[in-house]
Amino acid sequence: MQENPSGGSWFDQWVIALALVSAWFGSEAGRAALAGAAGGLVRWLMSERRRIRDLAVSIIAGALLAHYATPIMLALMAQWVGPMSGDVDGSASFAVGVLGMSGARLVLVWLETRAGKGGGNG
C-alpha cells in the first residue's frame, strides 16, 4: 500500500477518520445533531414542494438548530408538559429539527419588521 507524506497508509488514515466521526456521533452533541437532522428530514418530507436543495438545507439547519436550541426546547417542554423521563434530550432535539426552519423564518420576519419600524433603512 502506498505511504503518504505524513506516515501511515491512506487506508489507515481513513480508518482513523471514520473512527473519530463514529465516536462523535456517539457523543451527546452528535446524537443531538442526528436527531435534529432527522427532524429536518421529516420537515422536508411534510413540505408540499420537495426540492433536493431544500432537503440539504433542512437537514443542515435541523442539525445546527438542535445543537443550539435544544436547551430552549427542553425548558418549553418542561413548562408545557411537566416532569418527563426517558430520552427527553433526543425528543427535544428532534422537535427542534422539525420546527427549526419555521421558527427561523418567524424570527427573521420579526427582525425585519423590527428593523423596518426602527427606520434602519431610511
Q: What was the pLDDT predicted at 50?
A: 84
Q: Residue 117: which H helix or E strand, with range?
A: helix 88-117
> Which one, of 23, 28, 27, lies nearest residue 70 by Cα?
28
| Domain residue spans of the chain | 31-117
* pLDDT tens profile 30-77: 888 889 999 989 988 988 888 888 888 888 888 988 888 889 888 988
Dihedral class, residue 82 (left if φ above 0, else alpha if ψ from -120 to 50, else beta): left
Q: Is the pTM of this model over 0.75?
A: no
Q: What was the pLDDT predicted at 6?
A: 61
> What is the arithmetic mean of pLDDT over 14-34?
86
- Give 86 or 1, the one with higher predicted confidence: 86
> Which one, of 67, 51, 77, lies nearest residue 100 by Cα?
67
Residue 122's pLDDT band (boundaries 50, 70, 90)?
very low
C-alpha to C-alpha distance for 61 and 64, rounded to whole angstroms: 5
Q: What was the pLDDT predicted at 2?
A: 53
Q: What was the pLDDT predicted at 25?
A: 79
